[in-house]
Every structure is written in C-alpha cells, then in structure tokens.
Structure 1
Amino acid sequence: MSNETIFFGSFLLFIILMLSIDLGVFNKTDKKVGMKEAAVMSFIWVTFAIGFYFILLSEGEVLHDINNYPQLQEVTKKHLHNITLIPGNYAESLAHYKQNLALEFLTGYVIEYALSVDNIFVMVLIFSAFKVNEKYYHRVLFWGIIGAVIMRFLFIFVGSTLINEFGWILYVFGAFLIYTGIMMFINRSEEETIDTENHKVVRFASRYFSVHPEYVGNRFFVKIDGKKMITPLFIVLLIVEFTDLIFAVDSIPAIFAVTKDPYIVFFSNIFAILGLRSMFFLLVNVIHKFHYLKTGLSFLLVFIGVKMLGHHWLSEWGFKTSHSLFIILFILTASIVASLAFPKKKER
C-alpha cells in the first residue's frame, strides 16, 4: 500500500471519526444549538484546518508519494503547481513544493468557507419557510453534510479527470464563474423567497413518494397503516442537499482556479463543509448584518474567474498563490468592514 493511499485513507477515517463523535457524543438528543457551543465547534474545526495546513507544510510529499526529484517534477507538471523547481537541488525544490501545496489548501479553504456563507443565507430561508423547529436544525444539517461530502467527492475527482483530459474546460469554468459573479452582483438586493408548495424538490417528492402531511418529531420516515411515508423534515433535508448541489457548481470550479490537485481541492472543500454547521449556528441570528457580503462574494467569483481565464499569463508575470490569498482576504475583509461600518437602514 502506497503512502498516498494511506494518507488519503487516514483523512477519510478522521472525517468519519469526527462525524461519529459529533452525532454520538455531543448531540445524542435533539436540542437548540447555542451561540457558545457553535463558537467552540467553529474554533475546533478551524483549528483542525490550520493543523492540516502545517501537516502539508511538513509532510506534503507523502500526499503523492514523492521520493526524488523526477517524481517531484512529474507531480508539479501534472497538477500545474505554480512553483519554480531548482534542478539538482531536490531538498530546496521539495520545500518550495510543500510550502505552495499548503498555501493552495489554505486559499481553497478560505474560498470555500467564504462561499459557504451565501449557503447559510439560503439555509436560514429554508428552515424559516418550512417552519422547522430549531432543535432539529442540527439533525438536518448533519445528514445534509454527509450527503454533501459524498457529492463533493464525486464532483471533484470527476472534474479533475475532465481537466486532465480536456484542458480547455478551465476556460469554461472561468467564464461561468464570471457570469455567476456578475449575476450575483446584479441580484444582490433582491429578497430571496421559497415557495413551499411549488419548489422543484417538493413537487418531485410529492410525485414519487408518499408524504406525511405533518412533522413527526425528528423522524424522516414514518409507517402509517403499514405504508412507509416520508415526513416534511425529510423533504427539508432533500432541499438542503439540492441547494448544496447548486452551490457546489460554483465553489468547486473556484478552488480549481487555485490548484489542479484533486486531493487539495477535496481537503479544502471538506474542511470548510464540515465547519459549515457550526458557522450556521454562529451566524444564524446576525447574518442579516453582513449586507455587503453578497457584493464581496460577487467580486470574489469574478476575480477567480478572471484568474482561471488568464492563469497562463498571470504565471508568466509572477502571480503566485500567496497573491490570490491576499486578494481574497482583502475582498472578504472589505465587505465585512463595510457592512459593520455602514449598517443597513431599517425600513419604516
């Protein structure tokens, strides 16, 4: 068994372990998650992500089982890492590779975490529209995130295969992100609504499943007169999964603008997704205060799209992963500061 397989397998086992502890230890009973608990869990997940950054910085060569200069050269070329190797100096070249690899992970993590905030806006809307009891939020988000992890795994590795086979698809991703960013900016002030009767997922579920008309505690399924039925809570879960599918179409190509290494895209994506639940409970009551965040995210998507379209020229000009990280942090910080400095006026 190669070191690459062991590294990736260990990561998956770590995720399974953490999710099992979360469900079996910290959330045995349904309850409303408070701000303090959400802050602690957010801190823990961010700490894990930073710890993983240092693991890549220290042991990044294990990810692709690199043992010599030719292997390093091959991996760098395959995944289009934006670094300059030093011929004949394996140690220094490897140090540059690991530093860039860790930075790619951190940048991808920040992008995915930022875009997840927009996802929180929609989740709040979903729970409110379907009148879900707050003590069941965690249960829906927990199973929703398990589904999201599986979908992201498939999306990322299929996307990586397509990029390796058809390099031009990067330009399609770039153009799509620019279009998405422009449309987000144009529609930034529109109030989003959810039609609980005519939503696509509701119509799909009503057509193909027997639906119980009322919530039954925290249950997704019930058996009435020997007939198995889905509950409205399961429909909410399906809508959360469907929403994440839509967001993945934006966020995954965005991280491919930073790195073409599918492992790094997956790691950064999953750490951000796993931290999404705690961030949801942390921001659910104050998310409305960050009214300029959509504007910031629209600029972020346009920047990433432009970077993806012009990655060859930017590399020739000396544009590094660190430059992307600084620009992304600047855009996000500016939108948050602007939201707090210029609060939205209350409608009369």
Structure 2
Amino acid sequence: MATLVVDLEDRSYPIYIDTGLLSTNGPIHSHIKSTRVCIVTNDVVAPLYLAKLKKQLVDFNVDEVILPDGEAEKTLANFDKIMSHMLANAHGRDTTMIALGGGVIGDITGFAAACYQRGIDFIQVPTTVLSQVDSSVGGKTAVNHPLGKNMIGAFYQPKAVVIDTDSLSTLPIREFNAGIAEVIKYGILGDAEFFTWLEENKEKIKANDQETLAFMIERCCQCKADIVACDETEAGVRALLNLGHTFGHAIEAEMGYGNWLHGEAVATGMVLASTLAETLNLLSTSDCRRIEALISYFDLPIKAPSSMGFEEFIKHMRRDKKNLAGKVRLIVPTAIGQSEIRDDISEEVLKQILS
C-alpha cells in the first residue's frame, strides 16, 4: 500500500492507495473517533460498494444517505437533504462522515461535514479517476449554483483519503476518460517528465493496467499534496491547478451541469488555454499539438460547444472565483511542464479565441 501525506501541520492527513481497500479491513477504522458513522453515496455507487464498506464497519453504528447520481445533483437541495438526515438521526459532533463516490459526492459530503455543528470529521473514499487523482485531495468542498460552479463551499480537509484502485474496473469508459483530463493537467502545468510518461504509457492506461494506474494515481496525488501543502486556500500557486477550469466551468454552467462531464469541459478548457498561449507566443506550436493529441487520444473533446461563443463564455468567466479586482485571471501553459497565472489578457484576445 502506498501512503502519502498532505502536510498541513496539525491538520495533516494520509492518502492510502492500494487494491482491495473496499473489500478488506483497511485503514478507515483508525480515522473514526467514535461509534457513529454516516456514509454519503449515490444510487450508482451504492449497489457496487456500499455493502462492502459497511461490512468493514460492523463494529460501528452506521447509516447512510443515498443521493441521485450526477453533477446536476451537487445542489443546496441535496446539501439540505444530508443536513436533515443528520439531524433526524441525532448525529453529534463525534460522528464521522464518509464520502463514497466520485467528485460530486466528495464535494457535497465535505461541505456538509464542514457545516454540520460547525464542523465534524469526514473521510474521502473516492471511486472515480477524477476524484482519486484530484478532487478528494486538498479540502475544496462545495455545491453548485445555477450562476456558477462551486460558488458555495468551504476549504475543509478530510481526516484521510482511502483510494481503492479496484473501483476503477466498474467505471464507465466515458467517466474514466473524463478523469484522465485531470491527470493530463498535472503534466501540462508542472511536470514535463510525467506528461512524457503519459504519452509513452497511454495504451496501458486505456487498457486499465493496474500497475500503470497505481503509479499514475500516486504521482498525481503527490503533486496535489505538495501544492496544497504550500498553498492550502488558493492564495497563490494552488491556482495553477485550475488550468483549463475557467473555460471548463463556463462550459458546464452554460450547457447545464452534467451534460458535459467535468473532465470533458476541463479537457476543452486546457486546449483553449493552450491555443490562447500559442496565440500570445507564450507556448510553442509543437507543445500545443502534443497537448491536443494526448487529450484526443482519450476521446475527450477539444472544441467548445458550437452554441457557445465569446458572450456565452465571458459572462461566466467574469464570475470566476480566481478573479481579483474585477480582472479575469487565467492559467496558461508556457511550455509542457510550465504554466503561469495571467490577469492581463484582454477581452479582445479572448474574443479572438472564443468567437
């Protein structure tokens, strides 16, 4: 079992990565401080893994909240459903919540844990590529609003992240590929060696080779952990992890949450960011083509929806959480393995890219 640590002093926590962690008694027990546990999951994951997880927790008083699946369910209404369940079942401050599912479940459970009785413990048990390599690590929790993605939330760290790579075997291919967009992101923004490794091992990744996937997940988690340890609340370098997300979140909000998967929108967003950088002579044409080629290999979209032009993008981009002093801040790659935050890109240049 690989074990990494997110170093945040008294709020540090481990990330465990191995096969079979949902099928056998693993490290979850050591991070539960009382007998009360509430599992939050969805109606796709629950039939696959809820019974396995509860079998590990036979010595605890366990109940669950099962939400509908999908990004469209990351709402205040479902946040209220979790709160109502916790209150109706007399959960206290010593309850531990467990998020069993993908990024939506992890985000909404973490936000509920941050808010319930002003904060209770929670554990991330991510079951998708996207959540295992990205969203389960770092303590970003939120729900969506019709006017913007992840606009209501909190920075709130889990007590542990427990990654069972076997769960990827039941993941639909579209969801798998969407998660790979976040994997590619790490290579583009700060790890050229990893990007090259992805190019060289893309066939094994697509074939679900377990050893390859384990290395990939560990590399991404280490990168995320290192960045979060330096900048927990996204005051500086952590913003680089939003490469492709300003464009991607605009696509998700405009097209309706769930119609484009988050990773699909981010994939297109990274291509748009790369095209922007190429237009500004910040990124070479050859690097731009390599980025497009790797994203395309995993059957991810590289073009924005035909119904979206500059006006549709910019209305959402102006509300982006990274913006400061009314300026749109964008993450742009300057080479494979290098990126920077820019707030000096004019709307005229954006119009050229997005029209």
Which structure has the larger Rg? 1
Whichever structure has more helix as a proportion of its residues is 1
Give your verdict on TM over 0.5.
Answer: no
TM-score range, shorter chain: under 0.3
TM-score using structure 1 length: 0.27
Indicate the structure whose relative CO is greater, using CA pairs within 8 Å and at least 6 residues apart. 1
Whichever structure has more strand as a proportion of its residues is 2
